[in-house]
Amino acid sequence: MNKKLHPLVQKAIDNKSIVEDAWKYFAYKVIPNVSITQFTEMRKAFYCGFYASFTCMFEVSTTIGENDEEGAAKILENIKNKCEEEINKFANFISLH
């Protein structure tokens, strides 16, 4: 029996573009009219930040999650909340300028 994959899982397998799609959305929303240098530096920062976040979440889920799923979920929720807080600060800053 073939189980149908979630569309995001299938996309990850077929296109390997989930992170790239996130970058494109971020660039479209946040830095639509910048120089190529600024665009390149923002892309580097985006991917470095994404990798750091992914590594942290992977470590939490594989190390802590093995013994304490509730604790791991709380840590990941804390990370999510902090990221949303910083994004909102950034969005407010952009809207003021």
**Half-sphere exposure (Cβ direction) of 66: Cα atoms closer than 13 Å:** 4
What domain count does the chain have?
A: 1
> What range defines the domain where residue 90 resides?
35-97
Say if 44 falls within a structural domain: yes
Give me the pLDDT at residue 80, please. 87
| DSSP secondary structure, 28-88, as one string | HHH-SS--HHHHHHHHHHHHHHHHHHHHHHHHIIIIITTT-HHHHHHHHHHHHHHHHHHHH
Q: How does pLDDT run across 56-94, given as a tens digit for each residue?
A: 888 888 877 678 888 888 888 888 899 889 888 877 766
The single residue listed with the structure tokens 């013994």 is 67
Q: How does pLDDT run across 25-64, given as a tens digit for each residue?
A: 888 887 888 899 999 999 999 999 999 988 888 888 887 7
The single residue listed with the structure tokens 């979440």 is 57
DSSP SS3 for 4 = coil
pLDDT at 95 over 70: no
Mean pLDDT across 13-36: 83
